[in-house]
Structure 1
Amino acid sequence: MTDTNSPTVLPYWHLWTDDGGVSRQTLCSMAPWTLGVLGPNDSPQWNLDLFKDGNSFLTQLPVGWTADWHENHIPKWIYVLRGSWSVESMDGQKQIFGPGEFSFGGDQQCLATASGAKGHLSAQVGAEPCLQLIIQRNDELWRGVRPGFFS
């Protein structure tokens, strides 16, 4: 895995109103990123809590990032903004998601197999870190929903 000591700088333009009522644009960068892991055998990843309520945040998977078998502990939408990542479910299906693609992580309450597989495996793919926007609900509304619920 590559160096995880510092996340990629993520610039954005902030449109705002000054004291005189004039709109202005200022180039800023996202901070502060925190380094964390999903589970005990997982590679570290960078996280940025956008709204300070745990409902929406950015995560950056460094090149070489992997996660052992785990469930999404909270149902969530995962949008890929940059780079790629893969998800392999217990049935052996593996999907790779790139920029502009997204998935719903609703694999709560899986039953472990004899080999210990439970939930899914995930990994960063390619030579560029994977930047993701995560949107989740911290209530029960999305828990256990089946395919087609959002159709």
Structure 2
Amino acid sequence: NIGTIHIKTGNYDEAFNSIESSISIHKKIKNHGGLGAAYNNLGYLYELQEKTEEALKFYLLALEEDKYIENSLGMSGDLNNIAGYYKKTGDFEKALFYYKRALEVNRGLMHIEREKKDLKNIIDLLGSMGRSDEKEIYEKALEELEEV
């Protein structure tokens, strides 16, 4: 999508216009997959601009669209983005909840690389929370997964 190209080049105004246009088109043609991706891109753009509340709003909209069409891969990305928001804002319990949901989705998909990423996110978060016993459980799961 052109919006993501503008994001990568740092042209945020053009990115915003492109993504807004994409959202409008996807709404008209009822393309939920495209709409979910566009909402996710807009959330990412807001996150880069440190507009965290707006970012969360669009990550949640992306999750709704991906759920609607049962796009599990998209959902796992959305869940990770939502978890990242809560981690940044210091709500570690909510972040942990969403990271664990992403892990469940990726296990269902048998997407090992994403599972590893989810486990690392959970381990890091549990470490920040001082929950070493629970952290060890996830470290063991990661070790087992890396042996595969």
TM-score normalised by the chain length of structure 1: 0.27
Higher relative contact order (CA 8 A, sep 6+): 1
TM-score normalised by the chain length of structure 2: 0.27
Structure showing greater radius of gyration is 1
Task: Judging by fraction of residues, say which structure has more helix.
Answer: 2
